[in-house]
Amino acid sequence: MYLDQQKKEALFEKHGHTKSKTDTGSAESQIALFTYRINHLTEHLKINRKDFSTRLGLLKLVGKRRRLLDYLSKVDITRYREIIAELNIRK
């Protein structure tokens, strides 16, 4: 599988708000996980151009990440700017 338990723990530890392996609920860790999945699906769609169900799933993930980023920008703008800089996401 493309995303095993060790990779998830590394993502949560690197990008989580509390910087622990079990910080799965913070907005930063969820955004990092969605970004990883979005990048994986984008590479898949470059090869399989007619996979429309995967395209729909990708669009839903992008929407979820956008809503989380909007929430984070309203709650704490410094955390929003940090996660944008770490993951190279631009609005």
Report whether 16 contacts 28 (CB < 8 A). yes
* Residue showing tokens 């609920």: 25
Q: Which pLDDT value is given to residue 1?
A: 63
pLDDT class of 59 with cuts at 50, 70, 90: very high
Region of poorest pLDDT, from 14-23, 34-43, 46-55, 66-75: 14-23
pLDDT tens, residue by residue, 25-57: 889 999 999 999 999 999 999 999 999 999 999
Report how far apart the first and last C-alpha atoms of the chain are (Å, whole number): 30
How far apart are the C-alpha atoms of 11 and 15, rounded to whole Å? Answer: 6
Task: Give the list of residues 6+ apart from residue 19 with CB closer than 8 angstroms, or none.
Answer: 13
